[in-house]
A = this chain, B = another copy of it.
Amino acid sequence: MKMLINVAETVVADALRGMAAAHPELTVDVENRVIVRRDAPVADKVGLVSGGGSGHEPLHGGFVGRGMLSAACPGEVFTSPVPDQMVRAAAAVDSGQGVLFIVKNYTGDVMNFDMAAELAEDEGIQVAKVLVNDDVAVTDSLYTAGRRGTGATLFVEKLAGAAAEEGMPLERVEAIARQVNENSRSFGVALSACSTPAKGSPTFDLPAGQLELGIGIHGEPGRERRAMMTSGEIAEFAVDAILDDMRPNNPVLLLVNGMGATPLLELYGFHAEVTRVLAARDIAVARVLVGNYVTSLDMAGASVTLCQIDEELLRLWDAPVRTPALRWGI
């Protein structure tokens, strides 16, 4: 697999140098691998810190900015960041109002964020944590016990970020983040595997003419492998897998997310099918996002995430946001 890189060892550092050059509104500490909004700490505002393995861009670094994350900690590709990064991030964004850690449910991430929370509290920073585990495809997988955290991370970061920006206290921001996760479900499919820079070849073997249903964001196995399906069939499978698990009785936020290598042309076509299936199931869509947001390097495929909302969550969704990857209202 050819890659646009120098050497595998410097991929994350090179990307951080590029982010620093592209986004003067962020402070990028390349050596210590922490991306912080330049105006942090914002007085009287709860700080939001997330992070995880690299390879899912724009998640999380592309979501740092006003109305969303205060800081992000990128690990090596598909590898948890270390506690030291998280403690540095927490210290950089804490205004005295405390910090919320947003943690995708992968064993390494959970362990390291737990350790970082203890270390940060030793330094006098109040820390709350919320776990994101929205993927209905499998319970327990290669990388985690329990459900994986995937597309709902974007919803948690946006909605909790808006709550923090409004000046809500830590316990309220935490409660909103938890509510968003509990109200969210995702399901993804892969048409191709991804290749990590270190391995240089596909992380798993997906034969011609087959797709993997219920894929995670690291190339870990999904729920089942089938003969290739149409966009409409995939949309039905994904939406029904979600609805089997959660039946929204309110309008939803909808994320139709590309895994990386699927062209936007195909993704919009898939979105049309998802919209058709949701309408047939009497699910009202309040807001939509279509694009590559929670990716898996060069994997082809897509995921669907629904989040059941109420008036407050809708207001928080519509609130201004200004990050490299998500931007409106400012």
Contacts and interface: CB of A to CB of B under 8 A. Distances in A.
A92 interface: no
B264 A4 contact: no
A21 B271 contact: yes
Interface stretch (A81-89, A216-224, A228-236): A228-236
B268 A4 contact: no
A2 interface: yes
A270 B18 contact: yes
Nearest to A24: B288
A272 B14 contact: yes
Interface in A35-80: 54-55, 57-58, 62, 77
Interface in A234-275: 234, 256, 260-273, 275
Nearest to A296: B263
Interface in A285-301: 288-290, 292, 295, 297-298, 300-301
A17 interface: yes
A192 interface: yes
B298 A4 contact: no
A22 interface: yes
B231 A6 contact: yes
Interface in A155-188: none
A200 B234 CA distance: 19
A211 interface: yes
B54 A265 contact: yes
Contacts of A10: 269
A79 to B, nearest CB: 13
A130 to B, nearest CB: 25
A57 B21 contact: no
Counting every copy of the chain, the complex holds 2
B302 A4 contact: yes
A315 interface: no
Contacts of A298: 261-263, 300
A269 B6 contact: yes
Contacts of A145: none
Contact of A57 (B211, B256, B265, B327): B265
Q: Which of A58, A232, A289, A298 has the most CB of B within 10 A?
A: A298
A268 to B, nearest CB: 3
A288 B17 CA distance: 14
A3 interface: yes
Q: Which of A20, A231, A269 has the most CB of B within 10 A?
A: A269
A178 to B, nearest CB: 28
19 contacts: A2-B191, A2-B192, A2-B211, A4-B262, A4-B266, A5-B266, A11-B269, A14-B231, A15-B268, A15-B269, A18-B272, A20-B272, A21-B288, A22-B289, A54-B265, A57-B263, A263-B298, A264-B295, A327-B327
The 9 closest A-B pairs by CB, nearest first: A18-B268, A14-B269, A17-B272, A57-B264, A18-B272, A18-B271, A261-B261, A15-B268, A4-B266
Given A22-B271, A265-B297, 8 more contacts: A2-B208, A4-B267, A11-B265, A11-B266, A14-B272, A17-B272, A19-B268, A264-B292
